[in-house]
Structure 1
């Protein structure tokens, strides 16, 4: 038995991530063992939540991750922690499936976050609507941007039978953001001080916390993965330009027998010579385009392994770094590795977003897309992903020799066999 909460809101922009991080840090400082999860596809919020909680943050999503793996991850967390916090995605009922669906599936009550900065008694109508529309089990409310003690009392009175669990005042400074979301925690020099300040400012009702009933999360069996990658060494790019990857992806590769070797293109490190395959995850190559363009050793090595027929899987930012050129947000154009003929340019507007699946001979490989750049190329797509739930055409998948590249971020655990095939030489 463990205390568990799904932190959700009426929409994005209400402060879910800030509140979840503050609550996680506060509970850790109170001596609790805390595990945090993030609903839906996301890379950046989990980094902040990991910093706040001191423990790895995995994804929960009934479609991309699947009910079975969600159940296993929750069971493992319940065995290791006193508290489980799950940060929702967008609004509580947004998406197919939604955060509300996840709440009901696993019996985890909702902690509703509201931005009360421009309201008082209307907070009650908003929260009762969130509860009753589904309905869902609402454990309480955390009110963000509270101006005063009197403001908090008005909000609390409006909630009627729903407790005001905690309040957070208006912040003099917020977590910095850029085009793909929050700035990475390692880029904020005083991030731990900021998290501690948020925890200190979270006015917490200890009695309400003590009254939260525990959630029963049953044990879930862990199936053995076939050793499809036994004896395979995969070189994984990991640095400030290539850091958007699900921890479950690395876990899945290891569970199938792969040995992972990490290297940094930004530091001009060559692909490790023992690599049987290369994985270039997404990230921010557009912020480091000049440095990448000058990384001669990295460029020469990836061209060499490509010419040798070594399997390369490049997703989103990884693909951008393998085009001929990359135009950053200022319009400056930089030479990239040139394995995928074409030019990438940053756009002022979002160019792709949402859950998608890729049909493969091993079944559907699920994942998502989220990018602000566009690729102009004469290379015909070898395949397209399918958007979920609309089932319309999604991202192009390109194959150039041993390279497979796309804006699609794959969630390897959704189909280990299909994922393994990306890193194995095809038999002709």
Structure 2
């Protein structure tokens, strides 16, 4: 799935954006679905054979229903910002749906007919949000607000020099789909990963093998990753991410119904409804909305510079460790920003609430700091303006801060 970086970014905008999927892929791309007891009796395969089966799968056409559930264990203030409702409502721009999809359970219909036609429709009661890619056009439609987003899709070899000679499978633009999540997992798996074949299972009425990935290193928040693979055609049917602390999956994405027949051409046709507000998208990815979710923090004393560092604007980033234990150290240049904010009696109430949501104070040879904890990614923000972040435990972050202060 080779692609020019700029083209990949543009294509990502047209995928249904699931925030947690992006985080998982960036931090080592994880995911498991424990085998159902009494699974189907299938011929034995090795892990290498199963990986090759996935890689060789060239299914171009499918339709069905899928579900994704995300339980990051976010702080209450963050959960409130993300919203507990459905996806429908507000702007039809796909980028505006990112935060909403990082929380709760969402059901969607999916259809694909080759690399140039895909459709995802998220279902939330009587309201729907649809993302349609049909040839040169990408449409986003929000039925609740009756808003339409339209943008021209980047075409390999046509979008400047980007994408020349590249090929794309349907999963490339369906970031919420089990296929794309599985590809992200396998691409990120390396020598720090133990790969094996689990028990067989049945997913969406189809017999499946299960590929299990586990960190060899200690300190990861990820317990294991498992991909249910269609025994006949090699299509990933379900992907789950389990926490090293146990409990229900952090991410559980899979088909509940799937059909590999060619969808009707009418499936991908879209005409803006009468009276709908139509917004034309930016010509290039990244020009609009790239940092929207951080802008609200810029006004908080000391946090603006910290967020700039986290977004790579001015911060000095150093990668510590490898594989599942990778930690990024960001020197934001915010200095004593957090401590000043904590002691500032005139600081906005919202800023203090955000600070308190970061979690417990920690101390070490690096000084003092606070830990922002989720079930997947943890971040240690020190009072001298450094940020240590990764899919690792709080103790692993503290040790990294002490060794790299």
TM-score bracket, normalised by the shorter chain, equals under 0.3
Give TM-score scaled by structure 2 length. 0.28
Give TM-score scaled by structure 1 length. 0.27
* Higher helix fraction (1 or 2): 1
Relative contact order, CA 8 A, sep 6+: which one is greater? 2
